Amino acid sequence: MKDILGEISKLREARKWSEYDLAKKSGLTQSTISTWYRKNQIPTIASLNKVCIGFGISLSQFFAEGDEPMSLTQEQREMLDKWSMLNKKQQQVLAELLDNMQ
């Protein structure tokens, strides 16, 4: 079974987000998120869905393990379509820009 709080922490840390940042992005309160960690509680599906929306991923992406197939959100599919229209140099420049935005 997936360590849900661990996965949320991993996704937050990858984005350099605090609990407060996640709260702002997800529409949840910081105290709700803090309580999950303090009391080692698993968020409800509704709350977890809000967290995923805040991260810009789907629930299936959140729960995907390793090489499991996952579905992309409409926004992610559109971004991949745009990416595929770029030449290698443009992709490199965009990747560097995205790296610097983190």
**What was the pLDDT predicted at 67?**
63
**What was the pLDDT predicted at 96?**
92
**What was the pLDDT predicted at 29?**
97
**Helix/strand number for the chain, H first, E second:** 7, 0
**CA separation for the pair 87, 100 (Å, rounded):** 20
Q: From first to last of the 102 residues of the chain, give the pLDDT tens digit.
A: 689 999 999 999 999 999 999 999 999 999 999 999 999 999 999 999 999 999 988 888 888 877 665 667 788 878 877 877 878 899 899 989 988 987
47 closest CA partner among 34, 38, 65 = 34
Burial (Cβ within 10 Å: 0-12, 13-18, ≥19) of residue 23:
buried
